Structure 1
């Protein structure tokens, strides 16, 4: 159920020895995850979670282990700006922290924000729980290599009861490096009891990089915390971007995510949310829009473990040309999670005969007095609506774009940051097929 460890990709990721950190528990965890990656190889399509995403072509490629010039790569600061996002900013280029592009002056009271590389030089013990994790599933290959090789990323903490007004901006830039490159980043984010944070995560390209990038984020929301997380993924056309975001919500905590998956050649995002405290809430809104030969795979897993928890998930997919989209939405209501309320909807449009979207909603319930619903559709634009617009003098291409934009825009309606919301809507328009 895995591809052999002799593949060029695996060999290239294992060629370079792990640099010692000087922290015994961290070095041990990195080595154990490296050994597990070497032993298991890559998952193949017989692994259920990778059923629709084949890694054969990626496995035949080799990548350099690091970018020695990441600190001096030219990046236009103007490309990092987002409307309505004016707070602290942390920027990474090819997985390396760039102080010259970041804005960390005068952080608001209650916010602690630093690159992982610097945090490990101080007291690393608070990071031990997150960074010493061992990934044991056969499909966890990229999480393993990330745990072994990530030397930088984000450490963000919000103190109890702190309300951070301006959005915090995390930027990950893939920059052309003159060679195929692999880089890895690790984020550790924690909101204290009653804390509130608006977090914006951005992925973009500088030049035409050919890369493999992995990003793992561990996000903890303590009792009563509130997180609004917006993700804008617009990686380069030659990038393979593999991400895992794991959220744990304690009692009365609430997380809302808006996600746009637009760029990249091969993109995979495992979004996992555990509702471990009574009355916790998780809401996700997302759009994936592959075109050309893109492959975008979203794996959403929500676990209800406590009383009276709530989750809502609204996702839209649009595929054109010869692109492929994958969406798996799994909801598990565990024993004892009585009173849970879960709702998941995934609607998809195919804009060309050669496009494909595979969607798989899953619902598993082991508790009583539960409200749950899930559904998925794959179809084409409504011919009657197209006819109506064309009868009003609107050209076919423009009519198709209008209907598709309205279809996608539904996931942005409850994004409270209006300038950012309008910017994301314009990005969707830019990525729509021209005909």
Structure 2
């Protein structure tokens, strides 16, 4: 029986050449992940993790692989700067490292930071565990593509007990070109280390792009990570990301995530609390408008004693936009004394907007505190009436209430200058 022709997107991704590395285990992993993608193709809505994110339209697109002109693409460096973030910066344009836009001189003691392409030219063995991973689940298509094709990204390590004073900024910029690019990040904080990390997705123009990015983040015993993710990609960008965090004993990670741009955007955020007393705190806002589709998949697994997770996410959808949020918490056998709390509150600002939210909680341990909940609704009419009775026009009253609703997840961001800037971006995104 003849096999059906692959979708244009699948065909274009399979046509992309595998990056030669000269490292046997890496080349093997790339070939095996590519073979897995060729066999399975794109997930459809029958796959539970993709139930609310159909790929029919994207599957009919095809993209050139990589950008031969990435080193000379014009990028406004000033547009990459963020208030309160003035330290080390690593910049990628269409997936390629740009030394001219990066700031890597005078790295602070204890910080190692370099592009993956350079790290693979040296001793690649420390990267073997992350880069030789095989993705086999039904919804892993884009992780398989990334593992097969990505040739650049970030390798960041903080030495044990080092405290990096200034935030480190990672910038992934899309520039005018219709193509696909892929990046892979490997981040490790040593025992007792502390780091503030700002991850910024910024692009301009109307060119349609497909970008995949996979990050593996390891926090050793007692490490602390303060992580801000700002996604403000151009309206033509299809951005698929996966972030995997592993928290060892007493490690703490705090994430603040803003999802603002893009056409189809998906972020799989997976965290495993594998050491006693590990803590994870996530805060996020997704704000699709127009015909944007933004999908956040949050999966947290408590695997050790007395671990803690708190997750507070807000969604606002306008026009014909669609937001998706799935928050899944598993308290595994033996994770006694765990404390897990998840909340997702959402606003619909137009009759045609849609938000699908699905909180999940599975508990297999004893003496556990756990709560989860989700709401989807509209602005409170009593609050609107109160503001209007004091002379505030309806449109302004709606904007004030919506801004306050979103800003709540930024209240505990310690970088005041960055917090105010992100708040301003939220306000600018609100309908007028």
Distance 1:16 1:397 in 2: 49
Name the residue aligned to 2:194: 196
- TM-score, normalised to structure 1, is 0.98
The answer to whether residue 293 in structure 2 is matched with residue 278 in structure 1 is no
Runs of 4+ in 1 over 4 A off after TM superposition: none
Distance 1:136 1:277 in 2: 26
Preserved contact between residue 5 and residue 41 of structure 1 (Cα < 8 Å) = no
Name the residue aligned to 1:95: 95
Name the residue aligned to 1:348: 346
Distance 2:206 2:216 in 1: 29
Task: State the Cα distance separating 1:4 from its structure 2 match.
Answer: 6.8
Name the residue aligned to 1:114: 114
Distance 1:4 1:74 in 2: 41
Distance 2:338 2:114 in 1: 37
- Choose the corresponding residue for 1:405, options 403, 428, 431: 403
Aligned runs of 1:67-216 on 2, under 5 Å? 67-177=67-177, 180-216=178-214
Name the residue aligned to 1:331: 329
Name the residue aligned to 1:320: 318
Preserved contact between residue 5 and residue 38 of structure 1 (Cα < 8 Å) = no
Task: State the Cα distance separating 1:395 from its structure 2 match.
Answer: 1.0
Preserved contact between residue 91 and residue 101 of structure 2 (Cα < 8 Å) = yes
Gaps of 5+ in 1: none
Gaps of 5+ in 2: none
Task: State the Cα distance separating 1:207 from its structure 2 match.
Answer: 2.5
Q: What secondary structure, in the 3-state scheme, does the structure 2 residue paired with 1:42 have?
A: coil
Summarize the Cα distance change of 1:252–1:17 in structure 2 as closer, same or farther, 3 Å threshold: same
Name the residue aligned to 1:359: 357
Distance 1:13 1:402 in 2: 44
Task: State the Cα distance separating 1:208 from its structure 2 match.
Answer: 2.5
Residue correspondences, number: 430
User: Once superposed, what is the RMSD of the aligned Cα atoms?
Assistant: 0.9
Distance 1:399 1:4 in 2: 54
Deviates more, 1:77-86 or 1:8-17: 8-17
Name the residue aligned to 2:425: 427
Distance 1:5 1:412 in 2: 47
- Choose the corresponding residue for 1:395, options 376, 393, 401: 393
Q: What secondary structure, in the 3-state scheme, does the structure 2 residue paired with 1:301 have?
A: strand
Preserved contact between residue 75 and residue 206 of structure 1 (Cα < 8 Å) = no
Deviates more, 1:255-264 or 1:386-395: 386-395
- Choose the corresponding residue for 1:261, options 250, 259, 262: 259
Task: State the Cα distance separating 1:206 from its structure 2 match.
Answer: 3.0
- TM-score, normalised to structure 2, is 0.99
Task: State the Cα distance separating 1:16 from its structure 2 match.
Answer: 2.7
**What whole-Å deviation, never above 9, does each CA across 1:98-137 have from its counterpart, x for those lacking one?**
0000000100000000000000011111000000000010
Summarize the Cα distance change of 1:422–1:154 in structure 2 as closer, same or farther, 3 Å threshold: same
Q: What secondary structure, in the 3-state scheme, does the structure 1 residue paired with 2:422 have?
A: helix
Task: State the Cα distance separating 1:354 from its structure 2 match.
Answer: 0.2
Task: State the Cα distance separating 1:385 from its structure 2 match.
Answer: 0.7
**What whole-Å deviation, never above 9, does each CA across 1:122-159 have from its counterpart, x for those lacking one?**
11110000000000101000000000000000000000
Distance 1:119 1:206 in 2: 29
Deviates more, 1:101-110 or 1:201-210: 201-210
Preserved contact between residue 162 and residue 194 of structure 2 (Cα < 8 Å) = yes
Distance 1:270 1:10 in 2: 20
Distance 2:66 2:282 in 1: 34
Summarize the Cα distance change of 1:157–1:324 in structure 2 as closer, same or farther, 3 Å threshold: same
Preserved contact between residue 17 and residue 149 of structure 2 (Cα < 8 Å) = no
Task: State the Cα distance separating 1:20 from its structure 2 match.
Answer: 1.4
Q: What secondary structure, in the 3-state scheme, does the structure 2 residue paired with 1:189 have?
A: strand
Q: What secondary structure, in the 3-state scheme, does the structure 1 residue paired with 2:425 have?
A: helix
Distance 2:142 2:317 in 1: 25
Preserved contact between residue 270 and residue 298 of structure 2 (Cα < 8 Å) = yes
Task: State the Cα distance separating 1:15 from its structure 2 match.
Answer: 1.0
Q: What secondary structure, in the 3-state scheme, does the structure 2 residue paired with 1:343 have?
A: strand
Name the residue aligned to 2:17: 17
Name the residue aligned to 2:7: 7
Deviates more, 1:203-212 or 1:358-367: 203-212
Task: State the Cα distance separating 1:388 from its structure 2 match.
Answer: 1.1
Summarize the Cα distance change of 1:408–1:4 in structure 2 as closer, same or farther, 3 Å threshold: farther
